[in-house]
Amino acid sequence: MTITIAMAGKGGTGKTSLASLIIRYLLRHNAVPILAVDADANANLAWSLGLTVKQTIGSVLADFNDVKMGIPPGMTKEAYLNLKLNGAVVESKNVDLLTMGRGEGAGCYCFPNNVLKEFIDKLAVNYRFLVMDNEAGLEHLSRRTTENVDELIIVSNHSVKGVRTIGNILDLIKELKLNVKRQSIVINQAPGPLDPMIVAGLEELGVGADAVIPMDSLIADYDLQQKPLTDLPDTSPAVRAVDGLMEKLLATRRADRERG
């Protein structure tokens, strides 16, 4: 059964880097195959994984709208679109990538999101893990892009605004009755021990930090050198922290299975 891990949080909190380091952990522990999904219209996950995207869900849909009257005889619109969507999957050893890209029209991402959901459901059964990097804010939650999730990683940077966004996300999950089996709070890009204001903000929400990912200059260095974050060394502080988070999450899942 596919295990789905999805990111949520405000912009600038390092969700893409965190998703990349989660994928790095899974690759290093042979927890494959993996389907990586970049559900952010401002797609960056491919760069962090060292992959090249030639087509996105958005571009496939735009092309389909232009040529749908020229669909080959005997082929339905659904079959033709499904064929084109499969062509948008970037395949590599142990990890494949699907990228949402731009929307159907200016400022419109609703239709691509709906298509993405349906297409992911069909693809996911072929993979051991699905790791989804979502756009900033709460729109993907209200559109139910992030639905039926095993592990929702709610990411904040070391800021009070980020912690407030955690509260908004937690409220929205309850309001929409989303099928999220478990959620984890991650404070990313921490300059050191958590500031008392951050701790107090989390306590006010009734939660604690499940992981604190330290500021890591290697991530910025790899970005400047255009090197994939999956190649970061084991000595990277961020890698060590994410590895610890994943060990905790997978150990909890094993314990749940044994009890259940």
Distance CA 42, CA 15 (A): 13
CATH number for the domain that contains residue 245: 3.40.50.300
Of 238, 185, 250, 232, nearest in space to 214 by CA: 238
- Total Cβ atoms within 10 A of residue 59: 17
* pLDDT score for 140: 58
Taking residues 50-68, report their average pLDDT. Answer: 82
**DSSP notation for 82-112:** HHHHHTTPBP-SSEEEEE--S-SBTTB-HHH
Mean per-residue pLDDT over the chain, rounded: 87
Helices (H), the chain: 15-28, 45-49, 57-67, 77-86, 110-124, 139-142, 160-176, 196-205, 217-224, 237-259
* Tokens matching residue 214: 């330290």
Please report the pLDDT score of residue 114 as a whole number.
66
Residue 155, by phi and psi: left (phi above 0), alpha (psi -120 to 50) or beta? beta
- The total number of structural domains that make up the chain: 1
Calculate what percentage of the chain has a pLDDT beyond 70.
87
Look at residue 81 in the predicted model and tell me its pLDDT: 79
Please give the backbone phi and psi of residue 26, each rounded to the nearest 5 degrees, phi first: -65, -40
- Tell whether the model's pLDDT for residue 145 goes beyond 80: no
Once rounded to an integer, what is the mean pLDDT over residues 57-72? 75
Structural domain range at position 21: 3-259
Residue 39 pLDDT greater than 90, yes or no: no
Its pTM surpasses 0.75: yes
Q: What is the pLDDT of residue 172?
A: 87
Tell me the one-letter amino acid at 227. Answer: K
Strands 34-39 and 95-99: parallel
Residue 107: what pLDDT? 47
pLDDT tens digit string along 73-82? 878 777 887 7
Q: So what's the pLDDT on residue 196? A: 96
Give the pLDDT score at 206. 96
Q: What is the pLDDT of residue 75?
A: 81
pLDDT, one tens digit per residue, over 97-128 is 999 876 555 445 555 556 767 778 888 889 99
Tell which wins on pLDDT, 254 or 103: 254
Q: 184 forms bridges with which residues in the sheet?
A: 153
Is 222 in contact with 20 (CB distance < 8 Å)?
Answer: no
* pLDDT tens readout for residues 186-223: 999 999 999 999 999 999 999 999 999 999 999 999 99
